[in-house]
Amino acid sequence: MFLKKSVLLAAIVASSISLKAQNTTPAYFSRFDHLKMTRTADGILEVKFTTNNGPIVFTGKDHHDFVEAFSQIAQDRDNKIVILTGTGNEFFAQIDGPSLGDITNPREWDKTWWEGQQSLQNLSSIGVPVIAAVNGAATVHSEYALTSDIILASNDAYFQDYPHLTFGIVPGDGIQTVWKRAIGDYRSRYFLYTKQKISASEAKSMGVVAEVLPNNEALNKRAFELAKKLLTIPELTRRHMRTMFADDLRKDLLQQVGYGLAVEGISATDLKVAAEEKAKNK
């Protein structure tokens, strides 16, 4: 195959240009309780969901914080690749229910409604490749993982949407959007209606997960290996690929999450109203 050598050389040069060291640690790295951020000298940002160095126990404060956190990550051009991962043997699997406040109150829910939309818009506005390293149960907010470009999973990882139907409310926070795009109309409805567990290998056969790794060490190693490989793509090419790839998802999220979260809130309010009516009718 003929290739124009000067162009190839230029590509090599260009990619090397972007690999200068970054020594500073931005202030936002330590501003968010349940996100641990570290960055390699060549710009690979690892974002870990975590609570007290263990698996994350998601709170209402996190829901609020993530809007800002994802915005800061996206604005910081020193991030060249982002890796999203969990801690220990859970990716994202616990909620501190009481911390969410009274989700049956429309005015309280309104905050959730706005934050939920904007955190996904900000997350998907990140202008560099994002790799999810799913290191265990992804049973809460798995849509975060699915906004990534490449999803790696350890053998014991699995996906499920646990909280919505356990609470009895509509799964409308974007989870409906990402899974429909990922596995199609019928599989995603079954997944959500029945709280189905999808294992890492099933997810691979469905085309969501790119690679299944034997354990979490291998997973972490592979995530960084892949990140380094993507770093060899010249800066602008790398940025434009990500943005181009995320385009359709962003539009779907913009279109569907406002509605989804609205009816999720309605279904929450209704639980309370129905209970009150039942109490009255006794």
Write out the binding residues for a second copy, residues 49-108 only, by CB under 8 A: 57, 67-68, 71, 74-75, 77, 93-98, 100, 103-107
Q: How far is the CB of 147 from a second copy (least distance, A)?
A: 10
Q: How far is the CB of 31 from a second copy (least distance, A)?
A: 14
Integer angstrom CA distances of residue 108 from 30, 60, 113, 269, 275: 27, 11, 9, 11, 19
Q: How far is the CB of 217 from a second copy (least distance, A)?
A: 22
DSSP state letter for 184: H
Write out the binding residues for a second copy, residues 16-35 only, by CB under 8 A: 16-17
DSSP state letter for 136: S
Q: How far is the CB of 143 from a second copy (least distance, A)?
A: 13
Choosing from 33, 42, 89, 150, the residue that interacts with a second copy (CB under 8 A) is 150
Q: How far is the CB of 13 from a second copy (least distance, A)?
A: 5
Integer angstrom CA distances of residue 263 from 64, 99, 232: 20, 21, 44
Choosing from 118, 155, 199, 201, the residue that interacts with a second copy (CB under 8 A) is 118
Site string for a second copy, 165-204 (x = CB under 8 A): xxxxxxxx---x---xxxxxxxx-xx-xxx----------
CA-CA distance, 94 to 88, in Å (whole number)? Answer: 13
Spot the catalytic one: 46, 90, 115, 143.
Answer: 143
Write out the binding residues for a second copy, residues 226-245 only, by CB under 8 A: 226, 229-230, 233-237, 239-241, 243-245
Integer angstrom CA distances of residue 79 from 26, 73, 135, 211: 11, 7, 22, 24
Reduce the DSSP state of residue 138 to 3 states and report it: strand
Choosing from 84, 133, 138, 151, the residue that interacts with a second copy (CB under 8 A) is 151
Q: How far is the CB of 93 from a second copy (least distance, A)?
A: 7
Q: Does 116 bind a second copy (CB under 8 A)?
A: no
CB under 8 A: which stretch of 23-31, 34-42, 216-224, 254-262 binds a second copy?
A: 254-262
With b meaning 16 or more CB within 10 Å and e meaning fewer, what string describes 147-186? bbbbbbbbebbbbbbbbbeebebbbbbbbbbbbbebbeee
Integer angstrom CA distances of residue 156 from 80, 133, 152, 171, 202: 29, 12, 12, 24, 11
Interface size with a second copy, residues (CB under 8 A): 117
CA-CA distance, 104 to 106, in Å (whole number)? Answer: 6
Reduce the DSSP state of residue 93 to 3 states and report it: coil
Is 276 considered catalytic here?
A: no
Choosing from 20, 41, 78, 263, the residue that interacts with a second copy (CB under 8 A) is 263
CA-CA distance, 110 to 19, in Å (whole number)? Answer: 43
Tell me whether residue 26 or residue 127 sits nearer to a second copy (CB atom).
Answer: 127
Rg of the chain over all Cα atoms, to the nearest angstrom: 20
Catalytic residues: 143
